[in-house]
A and B are shown apart, each in its own frame.
Chain A
Amino acid sequence: MRDVVIVDYGAGNLLSVERAVKVAGGKPIITSDPKVVASATGLIVPGVGAAADTMRNLRERGLDRVISAFIESDRPFLGVCMGMQALFDISREGGKHECLGVLGGEIVRFPEEAVVPHMGWNIVNQVSEHPIMAGIETGFHFYFVHSYFAAPTESACVIAEASYAGVNFPAVVGIGNLMATQFHPEKSGPAGLRLYQNFIDLLS
Chain B
Amino acid sequence: MLTRRIIPCFDVDNGRVVKGVSFVNLRDAGDPVELASQYEEDGADELVFLDITASSDDRTSTFELIQRTAEQIFIPLTVGGGVRSPEDVRRMLESGADKVSLNTAAVENPDLIEQSANGFGSQCTVVAIDAKSTGDNQWKIFTHGGRTRTDIDVIEWAIEVTERGAGELLVTSMDSDGHKEGYDIPLLRAIRDKVRVPIIASGGAGGPEHFFFFFTSGGADAVLAASIFHFGEHSIKSVKDYLSAHGITIRPVN
Chain A residues within 8 Å of B, Cβ to Cβ: 12-13, 15-16, 19-20, 48-50, 113-123, 141, 143-147, 163-164, 186-190, 192-193
Taking chain A's interface residues, is the majority helix, strand, or loop, or is none over half, making it mixed?
A: mixed
Instruction: List, in ascending order, chain B residues with CB within 8 A of A163's CB.
Output: 1
Q: Is there contact, CB below 8 Å, between B254 and A120? A: no
Instruction: List, in ascending order, chain A residues with CB within 8 A of B198's CB.
Output: 115, 117, 119-120
A sample of 6 inter-chain contacts (CB < 8 A) reads A13-B94, A120-B221, A121-B45, A145-B123, A146-B123, A164-B2
Chain B residues within 8 Å of A, Cβ to Cβ: 1-5, 40, 45, 70-71, 74-76, 93-94, 96, 98, 120-124, 167-168, 196-198, 221-222, 251, 254
Q: Is there contact, CB below 8 Å, between A12 and B121? A: yes
- In the assembled complex, how far is the CB of residue A164 from the closest CB belonging to chain B, in whole angstroms? 6
Q: Is there contact, CB below 8 Å, between A118 and B167? A: no
Taking a contact as CB atoms closer than 8 A, the residue among B76, B120, B122, B251 that contacts A187 in the complex is B76
Bound-state CA distance A190–B254 (Å) is: 10
Assess A141 versus B251: contact at CB under 8 Å? Given A13-B96, A120-B221. Answer: yes
Taking a contact as CB atoms closer than 8 A, the residue among B1, B76, B93 that contacts A12 in the complex is B93
- Please give me the residue from chain A that is nearest to B96 by CB atom: A15
> Which one of A49, A119, A186, A187 has the greatest number of beta carbons of chain B within 10 Å?
A119
> Which one of A50, A143, A186 has the greatest number of beta carbons of chain B within 10 Å?
A143
Q: Is there contact, CB below 8 Å, between B196 and A48? A: no
Q: Is there contact, CB below 8 Å, between A119 and B96? A: no
> Which one of A49, A118, A147 has the greatest number of beta carbons of chain B within 10 Å?
A49
Q: Is there contact, CB below 8 Å, between B196 and A16? A: no
Bound-state CA distance A120–B222 (Å) is: 9
Instruction: List, in ascending order, chain B residues with CB within 8 A of A120's CB.
Output: 2-5, 45, 198, 221-222
Bound-state CA distance A193–B45 (Å) is: 16
Taking chain B's interface residues, is the majority helix, strand, or loop, or is none over half, making it mixed?
A: loop
- Please give me the residue from chain A that is nearest to B120 by CB atom: A12
Q: Is there contact, CB below 8 Å, between A48 and B121? A: yes
Taking a contact as CB atoms closer than 8 A, the residue among B1, B45, B196 that contacts A113 in the complex is B196
- Please give me the residue from chain B that is nearest to A50 by CB atom: B121
Instruction: List, in ascending order, chain B residues with CB within 8 A of A187's CB.
Output: 74-76, 98
Instruction: List, in ascending order, chain A residues with CB within 8 A of B2's CB.
Output: 118, 120-122, 144, 164
Q: Is there contact, CB below 8 Å, between B251 and A121? A: yes
Instruction: List, in ascending order, chain A residues with CB within 8 A of B94's CB.
Output: 13, 15
Instruction: List, in ascending order, chain B residues with CB within 8 A of A147's CB.
Output: 122
Instruction: List, in ascending order, chain B residues with CB within 8 A of A16's CB.
Output: 70, 74, 96, 98
Q: Is there contact, CB below 8 Å, between A189 and B75? A: yes
Instruction: List, in ascending order, chain B residues with CB within 8 A of A164's CB.
Output: 1-2
Q: Is there contact, CB below 8 Å, between A143 and B75? A: yes
Bound-state CA distance A193–B94 (Å) is: 21
Assess A117 versus B74: contact at CB under 8 Å? Given A16-B96, A123-B1. Answer: no
Instruction: List, in ascending order, chain A residues with CB within 8 A of B96's CB.
Output: 13, 15-16
Taking a contact as CB atoms closer than 8 A, the residue among B40, B45, B76, B196 that contacts A116 in the complex is B196
Assess A114 versus B93: contact at CB under 8 Å? Given A141-B251, A163-B1. Answer: no
Q: Is there contact, CB below 8 Å, between A186 and B3? A: no
Instruction: List, in ascending order, chain B residues with CB within 8 A of A20's CB.
Output: 74
Bound-state CA distance A64–B222 (Å) is: 37
Bound-state CA distance A118–B168 (Å) is: 10
* Cβ-closest 5 pairs across A and B: A49-B121, A121-B251, A145-B123, A141-B251, A122-B2
Q: Is there contact, CB below 8 Å, between A121 and B70? A: no
